[in-house]
A and B are shown apart, each in its own frame.
Chain A
Amino acid sequence: AQSVTQLDSHVSVSEGTPVLLRCNYSSSYSPSLFWYVQHPNKGLQLLLKYTSAATLVKGINGFEAEFKKSETSFHLTKPSAHMSDAAEYFCVVSGYSGNTPLVFGKGTRLSVIA
């Protein structure tokens, strides 16, 4: 079965320091993986996606993620945090077939301290 585990429910960083949000996945086949961001009182927005092309994926707002099959990980990083990055982040894996729903992690809340 497909699943994702977001290893931290809350991450706090200082503005200008690197961001690392960790995600491990489980999949019975080659998955597609996504990161979504949800700012307060907003909908979920696609940040980036991996679909079996390059293992290092670049997304919006300076975020990137690296697909590591050997570690079954898809961690999200950003070199320098900005106050506007404070939000909830969801790691997502594709379903067991292309026609089944995506599987969402429980989310990681990122706080950015001035």
Chain B
Amino acid sequence: DAGVIQSPRHEVTEMGQEVTLRCKPISGHNSLFWYRQTMMRGLELLIYFNNNVPIDDSGMPEDRFSAKMPNASFSTLKIQPSEPRDSAVYFCASSLTRGNYGYTFGSGTRLTVV
């Protein structure tokens, strides 16, 4: 199994541009999570999906952030327009819905907005 796959690994963009982060969960996992990690705020849960349906997006910082999961094997996190304070590492994780099994994390996307 290739694990959770995120792309791109690194993204540098200018303020005001649209940024799209991508995630492919582990096959058979039906829950997907987007996290953001910064030195100041640590690891924050942005949004999660069960069976492709968004369940809780209360962690999404602003309307500039949106996430979709059109099918069981793909999800996107979009920031439009991007701002320097969005610079962070964004992680995607997947699991079986019964979270007692733990999550498998991707390697993350390091986003830098200049």
Binding site of B, secondary structure by majority: helix, strand, loop or mixed? strand
Ordered by A's residue number, 30 sampled pairs between the chains whose C-beta atoms are within 8 Å are A32-B99, A32-B100, A34-B102, A42-B107, A43-B105, A43-B107, A44-B91, A44-B93, A44-B103, A44-B105, A45-B105, A46-B103, A46-B104, A49-B101, A49-B102, A51-B100, A90-B43, A92-B102, A94-B99, A94-B100, A98-B100, A99-B97, A99-B98, A101-B56, A101-B99, A102-B99, A102-B103, A104-B43, A106-B42, A107-B43
Binding site of A, secondary structure by majority: helix, strand, loop or mixed? loop
A44 proximity list for chain B (CB < 8 A): 91, 93, 103, 105
Q: How many A-B residue pairs have CB under 8 A?
A: 50
How many residues from A make CB contacts under 8 Å with B?
Answer: 22
Q: Considering only CB atoms, which chain A residue lies closest to B98 in the complex?
A: A98
A98 proximity list for chain B (CB < 8 A): 97-100
Beta-carbon contact of B33 and A101 below 8 Å: yes
A100: Cβ under 8 A from any B Cβ: yes
User: Which A residues, 89 to 114, have Cβ-Cβ distances below 8 Å to chain B?
Assistant: 90, 92, 94-95, 98-102, 104, 106-107
User: What is the distance, in angstroms, from A5's C-beta to the closest C-beta of chain B?
Assistant: 14
